[in-house]
Chain A
Amino acid sequence: MAQHEIEVILTRELASYLATAVFVVDPEGELIYYNEPAERLLGTRFDETGPMAMSDWTSMFSATDENDQPLKAEQLPLVAALQYGRPQHERFRIRGLDGGRRLIEVTAIPLLGQAGRFVGAAALFWEAGEP
């Protein structure tokens, strides 16, 4: 695998020190990192899943809105940040791979590096409470 852009490497290092759950994807939407707090929300460890294609991570956590209606992939903030290049915030439910159902709030931002290069996107997750 080729070396990631420095802005992505630095985002990962920052995320690895945060108690806030963070997801990082590359410009193609491949999930390339999530930190320990995100592992707790998702119910799985990054070392177990490894990098994941967008088609996989957008479906495997069974995202629904607050009325339990399934969300389409493009309704997920991270996908919107990737597709439209702008921040997006949503509140929705997921089912972690440990079976836990969680209400979360997610803010996703595109990562624009030096010279305006689009180097990926990151999402910050907050657990809003038990559904």
Chain B
Amino acid sequence: MVRFWGTRGSLATPGLDTVRYGGNTSCVEVRTDAGDLAVLDAGTGIRALGREISTDAKRVDVLLSHLHMDHVQGLGFFECLYREGCQVHLWGPASTTMSLRARLTRYLSPPLFPVRLRDLPALTLHDVPLGRFEIPGFTVHCALVRHPAPTVGFRLEADDAALAYLSDHEPALGVRDFPGPPEWTSGFDLARDADLLIHDTQYTDDEYETRMGWGHSTVAQTVAFVTAVGARTYVPFHYDPTHGDAELDQMHAAAADALRGICRVIPAREGQTLSVTSGGVA
């Protein structure tokens, strides 16, 4: 089961104009049939998720794609961090010179935040390993992907289904005829044949002209990527703060038109729940 708690990129964008698709920044809940819980990113959406997690929960694994503010801003407001008896395991990329803890401390410490990381005893930090590793209920594949600063994508496998999460991804940057061969395409192995692919779809073609290299994709680029990797269901995600619901409707319609007969398109909406199975979304 997949539930979207934050679908927005860059900046939380509450307001009448974003009610349908949501204004909170990146956060996705993923649960196995047995109830194991993984959380993808800790944007502002994680605050509401924390309140929904049972007080009986003993462990939560939070997988951070990277440490840009829209992916960590909700972390300090995640209720599970302050509950007795609940262990929170936080996985995220180190840099070439600093551990995840050192990097995260830059935000989770005064003057930016009143609580220090070291004051959260139930929190265990892991420099996320590149490659395959296990967390309760899930096999996780992790790889660096193209986005400014160390950024990873995830592939979660459980219950015979595979979900790929590439929230911030610009695989077309610098590629003259995108997509190129699979071996030269960022994120390809993570997304290959995924039952559900949650992928960055931040820009229109016009916007991309002035935002090239910022680490995000257009609708057309994502359509090309989705087609190349053979994903069964594509979930547009990480919406630009300037895009209201009406504009997103147009972008999603363009993606659905381009992928008709190739792949199902289900735009991410805050609060939406999807049941992922082998072969797509039930």
Contacts and interface: CB of A to CB of B under 8 A. Distances in A.
A4 B183 CA distance: 5
Give the secondary structure class of A's interface. helix
Interface in B123-137: 127, 130
Interface string A4-38: 11110110111011000000000000000000000
B98 to A, nearest CB: 11
Contacts of A5: 144
Chain B interface extent, by class: 20 to 34
A13 B171 CA distance: 11
A5 B185 CA distance: 10
Interface in B158-197: 173-176, 181-186, 188-189
Interface residues of A, number: 18
Give the secondary structure class of B's interface. loop
Contact of B144 (A1, A14, A17, A113): A113
Contact of A1 (B93, B146, B183): B183
A5 B181 CA distance: 14
B156 interface: no
Among B127, B130, B145, B184, residue most surrounded by chain A Cβ atoms (within 10 Å): B184
A3 B150 contact: no
Given A114-B130, A115-B94, A117-B130, A13 B175 contact: yes
Contact of B184 (A12, A14, A117): A12
A7 B144 contact: yes
A12 B52 CA distance: 46
A50 to B, nearest CB: 11
B184 A4 contact: yes
B143 interface: yes
A114 B181 CA distance: 23
A9 B187 CA distance: 11
A15 to B, nearest CB: 10
Contact of B186 (A6, A17, A114, A117): A6
A-B complex: 9 closest residue pairs judged by Cβ atoms: A13-B174, A6-B144, A3-B189, A1-B183, A3-B188, A3-B183, A4-B183, A9-B184, A9-B186
Interface of B: 93-96, 127, 130, 143-146, 150, 173-176, 181-186, 188-189
